[in-house]
Amino acid sequence: MDGRVLPAAEAVVSVSDRSFLYGDGLFESLPWDSGRLFRWREHWDRLTCGAHFLGIRIAWEEAQVRAGIRAITALLETPQATVRLHLSRGVGPRGYSPRGADAPRLILTVYPAPAMPPGGWPPIALKTCRTFAVATGDPLAAHKSANKLLNVLARAEAEAQGFDDALLVNTDGLITESSSGNVFWWEEDSLHTPPLTAGVLPGVTRGAVLDSARELDWTVSETAALPSRLCTSHGIFLSFSTRGLVPVRALDSQNVPTEARQSLLQEAFLRCCEREWEPV
C-alpha cells in the first residue's frame, strides 16, 4: 500500500475512497505457489481492460506491481497463497461524479491458501437464485468490478437455505455463473459452459479449463441454457481461480451425477497449471 508493506490491520483507506463508497474499482485474485503466479498475463490484462472501461488510470507499471507482489509474498511461511490486487478510483469530491478523483490507489494483499485435500475439493450443493439476476447485456458483467452486491446477496440466500453457493441467471433466465465461479456441465459427448454474452465474467481458470478440454480433443460448446438443462446433465462443476475445479453434488433439490471424465479433465487441468505457472 503506497509502496509500503503493512499488517492488514494497519492498511486503512479514507472514508471518502470511492471504492469504499460506491464499489468504484476493480480487483483480481491470483493463486500464488512458491514464488510463482498462474496465468499472470491474463489477470493483468483483465485488470487493465477493466480500468480502461471504467476510465481509471493505472499509475503503476506492470514491473512495479510484480515487485510489490514479491515484497508481500516474501513474508509468507506457507507455499500456497492468494494475492489480491484492488484498484480504486481513489478519493474524490462527494457524489457520484468521478470528476476530481484523479489519484487512483492500487492495494496488494496476500492471504495463505488452504491446500487442496488429497482426494480433491469436496463436492458442493448449488441453489438457483431467483431473487436476483444479472442484467442481460450489462457490459459491467465482463469486468471484475468491486461492486459485487448481487453476488453477495445471492450467496447469502443460498447459504441461508443450506446450500454452498448460488447459481446465477440473467434477466432472460439463462445460466451465467455461480456467485464466485464459472459453471460447466457435461452432456453426452461434450462439455458445455455459458457464453460470455450471457453475462459471464471471462474467468482466467475458465479459459484454462477450455484449453485443457481441447487438449484432450473433447468437444467444447459455449451454450446458452436454462437451469433446467443442467438437471438432465451428466455432471456439473465450477471453476475458481483460488481452488481450480470443484464438482457439484446437488442442484436445488436434485442430486447431480458424477461424470467419469471429470478425473481426466482434472489431470489435464493440473498439467496446464504446471506449464503456466511463472515466476513473479
DSSP secondary structure, 121-148, as one string: SPPEEEEE--S--BPTT-GGGGS-BS--
5 in helix, strand or coil? coil
Rounded (10°) CA dihedral 259, 260, 264, 265: -10
Query: In terms of domains, do 80 and 143 share one?
Result: no
Query: Residue 161 phi/psi, 5° resolution?
Result: -100, 10
Quick: pLDDT tens for 13-42: 999 999 999 999 999 999 999 999 999 999
Q: How does DSSP assign 192-214, residue by residue?
A: EE--GGGT----HHHHHHHHHHH
Query: In terms of domains, do 143 and 204 share one?
Result: yes
User: Residue 78 corresponds to which cell in the numbers above?
Assistant: 506457507
pLDDT range class, residue 43, cuts 50, 70, 90: very high
Quick: pLDDT tens for 93-145: 999 999 999 999 999 999 988 777 887 889 999 999 999 999 999 999 999 99
User: Does 2 have pLDDT greater than 90?
Assistant: no
Query: In terms of domains, do 108 and 135 share one?
Result: no
Instruction: Examine residue 2 and state whether it is found in any structural domain, yes or no.
Output: no
pLDDT given for residue 110 in this prediction: 95
pLDDT given for residue 114 in this prediction: 79
Query: In terms of domains, do 147 and 245 share one?
Result: yes
Structural domain including 172 reads 124-279
- Residues 39 and 274: beta-carbon distance below 8 Å: no
pTM: 0.94
Query: In terms of domains, do 258 and 147 share one?
Result: yes
Query: In terms of domains, do 238 and 170 share one?
Result: yes
Number of domains in the chain: 2
Domain with residue 50: its CATH number is 3.30.470.10
Quick: pLDDT tens for 228-280: 999 999 999 999 998 999 999 999 989 999 999 999 999 999 999 999 999 99
Query: In terms of domains, do 33 and 149 share one?
Result: no
